[in-house]
Amino acid sequence: MKHKSWFKTVWKNAQLRVGCIMLLVLLLLGIFAPLLAPYDPYVLSDDMVVPPSLSHPLGTDGLGRDVLSMLIYGTRTSLLVGTVAALIAGVIGTLLGGIAGYYGKATGAIIGEGINIFMMMPTFFLILIVVALFGSGMGKMMVVIGLTTWVGNAKLMRAEAMSLRQRTFVRSAEATGESNIAILFRHIIPNGIYPIIANTTMGVASAILTESSLAFLGLGDPNVVSWGQIIQAGRSYLLDGWWICTFSGLAIVFTVVTFYLIGDGLNTVLSPKLNTIRGGDA
């Protein structure tokens, strides 16, 4: 019954419902890309900068590649980069924020100051420098984005941990002799993870935008199809081939809106003290 109640509560939220439907569309495009794409996105042809037609529903780019096929395959790249990078940022932020908020004193102060210093750094320019120095492979890009975008999650988790460490069930666990590590992973993080879930979901959208920006600047992985890469290739044809950049930009907007709807919906559902979802403090 609890699972049914949780699903019913989530489904009542219009933002979350619409976002999940949009995400399902993206997942289906990514999973079935080889079946849905009418052409191989890597194959060049003589049909260069052809406007949308029956043979090429979204036209072709300056190298004769089918734009629709590239957009479909680009869904895989965006979802993979966004999800992995956001998960890395979520894990790092949760651990550091939890330690800083629960341990307090010297350990918490040091980590807290580190978080504050990292917040002042220009994240995107830091990513640019790292990618330029160490290469632009997709794996490296996911790790770099994840390692530079954990601060928001750390701040949220730190605030949650500082509040939770004063709660009765945490004090009881300390009184019974549980170790700090056990309390952190059994009580603090599980009960404070809900804002992190919502923020990490929104972080997927930010990671997708970052990857697209890097690809647009020519720092993306040249071996995979990316929406930012399509826009970068199509900027030379803005007047004669407007469709190249337009449809790629719309794909990015659609995906970013999808994850913001899901993240905002989760934030609305998980932030209130809904006992049907959290199942109490313990």
CATH of the domain at 84: 1.10.3720.10
- Range of the structural domain that residue 123 is part of: 61-272
pLDDT digit string, tens, across residues 261-279:
998 888 887 765 443 444 4
Q: How confident is the model at residue 101 (pLDDT cuts 50, 70, 90)?
A: confident
Number of domains the chain is built from: 1
Q: Is residue 196 part of a domain?
A: yes
Interatomic CA distance for residues 63 and 47, integer angstroms: 8
Residue 34 lies in a domain: no
Q: Which residue has the higher pLDDT, 218 or 8?
A: 218
Read off φ and ψ for residue 144, nearest 5 degrees. -65, -45
Cα separation of 92 and 156, whole Å?
A: 12
- Assess if residue 70 is contained within a domain: yes
In a domain, 281, yes or no: no
Query: Which band of pLDDT confidence, cut at 50, 70 and 90, is reported for residue 178?
Result: confident
Query: Using 50, 70 and 90 to split pLDDT, how confident is the model at 281?
Result: very low
Banded pLDDT at 3 (limits 50, 70, 90): low
The answer to whether residue 279 is domain-embedded is no
**What is the CB neighbour count within 10 angstroms for residue 30?**
18
Residue 216 tokens read as: 């647009």
For 28-54, the pLDDT digits (tens) are 999 999 999 999 898 888 888 888 988
Residue 156, CB half-sphere, CA atoms under 13 Å: how many? 24
> What percent of the chain has pLDDT above 70?
92
Rounded CA separation 273/281 (Å): 10
Is 35 inside any structural domain?
no
* Average pLDDT of the residues of the chain: 84
* 42 domain residue, yes or no: no
CA 88 distance to own-chain centroid: 10
Q: Which residue has the tokens 């040249």?
A: 222
Q: Between residues 136 and 206, which one has the greater pLDDT?
A: 206
What average pLDDT does range 132-140 have in this prediction?
Answer: 78
- Whether 128 is in a domain gets the answer yes
